[in-house]
Amino acid sequence: MSGPPPTAWLNTLLGLLQWAQQSLLTLWHTLGLTGEMHGQPAWPWGTRIAGETLLIDLGQARQLGITLIAVALAMLAVLVAMLVRRWRAVALGVAAGFLVVAPWPSAVVLSSAVPTSFHASPTAFSLGSIANGARVYNAACASCHGADGRGEGPLAATLTRWPPTVVGPLLGRHADGELFWHIAHGMRDAQGVATMPAFANRLSDNDIWAVLDYMKVLAASGGVRAGGWPLPLALPALSVRCADAAPEPLNAWRDRQRVRVVAIDAASAGQVPFEDPRFQTLLITPDGTLPSPALPMRARCVVSGRDAWPIFAALAGTTPQTFSGTQLLADRNGWLRARGEPGTTWSDADFLCTSAPRTAEPPRAAGLDTLIARMDAEPVRYVKGGFIH
């Protein structure tokens, strides 16, 4: 007999631990035992359970998982002891037994925490927030982190420590709240010397969340060229306008359908695709208006505003100049999954958000139906600090 693959049980364990810690924080806050910081309940302890360590150290993760089961069984036995008088002694003995035999993991599974460790971004990864983040990033961060996020800005070589690249697992692995904290309050090396400057007195909380959104776009953009998105990315929150109707938020319009995003400009105006029952079709144009004249049976919903064109171009790993004709596919849960280059047929290599290891084999032509089937069969199971896809 073989157990489920480690990814499945480990992700469940990590998800459970995340939920338990978050619930504890909510309880603590409701009881008035901890206040707020940066607008959300502050984690009052100096440590938290380190999902990122468990991910690397399967042995520790297994031990912690078994210990949690043992603790749950011990609690059950205590309950029995309380309810059934006759069995009290035996049940308490059993409870103690579970606690003794549990393979308690070592302190390695804890890591240091900050008050914002469990904070969630309030931006919904919206186009407006990403555009604001781009402005903040280019003004305050690019000098060290580089315009493309690879950590090779003009000032990088003058620093005692090289800034890390965001084009990799960094932003997917670290808790959003801890990245937020490091931007707001800076970072220091083991000797206490400042490495990353603090921005809390120059940027608002919103600006810091926004710049994190933009860094995720940089990670996606650089990642595409290396063969895949290094972290799962949701379709940004945006507003959709269909023909002459009033604009609607994406989520209401999408209604849990798959979405195909298609970039159309003056050069490709004749190629507005037909409506397709397999997904909702969302057009992106440079100025946020529908290409005219509207053709019958063709897609007629467009993203409002001018921010979408450059941002989606970056997500697709291309430039605004070469974006025309590019397509992106999002699954029913709103995660971006694949990108089709203009004028080519879909292939395996277009599936950019996947847990399958990349092979050196040349990409096989896959066809849109195959990609959609794969997208549905391999849903994104994203647990912060857990497996990426």
Interface positions with ligand HEC (CB under 6 A): 140-141, 143-145, 155, 159, 161, 163-164, 174, 178-179, 182-183, 187, 189, 195-197, 199, 211
- Residue closer to ligand HEC by CB (options 191, 292) is 191
In the bound complex, what is the minimum distance in angstroms from residue 180's beta carbon to ligand HEC? 9
Nearest distance in Å: CB 56, ligand HEC: 16
Choose among 89, 72, 57: nearest CA to 16.
72
**DSSP conformational letter for 179:** H
Quick one: 207 or 307, whose CB is closer to ligand HEC? 207
Cβ neighbours around 46 below 10 Å, total:
10
Q: Please state the closest distance from residue 108 (CB atom) to ligand HEC, in A.
A: 19
The sign of the torsion formed by the CA atoms of 168, 173, 177, 183 equals negative
The nearer residue to ligand HEC, 175 or 301, going by C-beta atoms, is 175
Minimal distance, residue 173 CB to ligand HEC, in Å? 9
SS3 label, residue 219: helix
CB of 227 to ligand HEC, least distance (A): 23
Q: Quick check: bond before 310 cis, omega within 30?
A: no
User: How far is Cα 173 from Cα 231, in angstroms, rounded to an integer?
Assistant: 8
Least distance to ligand HEC, CB of residue 5, Å = 29
Q: Which CB sits closer to ligand HEC, 209 or 346? A: 209
- Angle, helices 308-315 vs 127-140, to 10°: value is 80
Rounded to 5°, the CA angle 54-55-56 comes to 90
Query: In the chain, how long is the greatest CA-to-CA distance?
Result: 83
Query: Hey, what are 251's tokens?
Result: 């989520």
Residue closer to ligand HEC, measured from CB, 66 or 110 = 110
CA distances 199 to 50, 208, 319, 373, Å, are 26, 8, 30, 45
CA 182 to chain centre: 18
Any idea which residue has 């950590």 for tokens? 151
Distances (CA, A) of 242 to 128, 281, 288, 355: 20, 11, 11, 35
> Which is nearer to ligand HEC, 175 or 383 (by Cβ)?
175
238 token code pair: 């945006």
Q: For ligand HEC, which is the closer residue by CB, 182 or 389?
A: 182
Residue 114 Cβ, how far from ligand HEC at the closest point, in Å?
Answer: 10
Which CB, 54 or 215, lies closer to ligand HEC? 215
- Residue 141 Cβ vs ligand HEC, minimum distance, rounded to whole Å: 3
Q: Please, what is the minimum distance in Å from the beta carbon of residue 336 to ligand HEC?
A: 21
Nearer to ligand HEC, 119 or 145 (CB): 145
| CB closer to ligand HEC, 186 vs 342 | 186
Task: State the helix-helix crossing angle for 58-83 and 88-101, rounded to 10 degrees.
Answer: 170
Rounded-to-integer distance, Cα 20 and Cα 23, Å: 5
Instruction: Say if CB 151 and CB 171 are below 8 A apart.
Output: no
Least distance between ligand HEC and beta carbon 263 (Å) = 28
Phi, psi of 239, deg, nearest 5: -115, 140
CB-CB contact of 225 with 149 (8 Å): no
Phi and psi (nearest 5°) for 284?
Answer: -120, 130
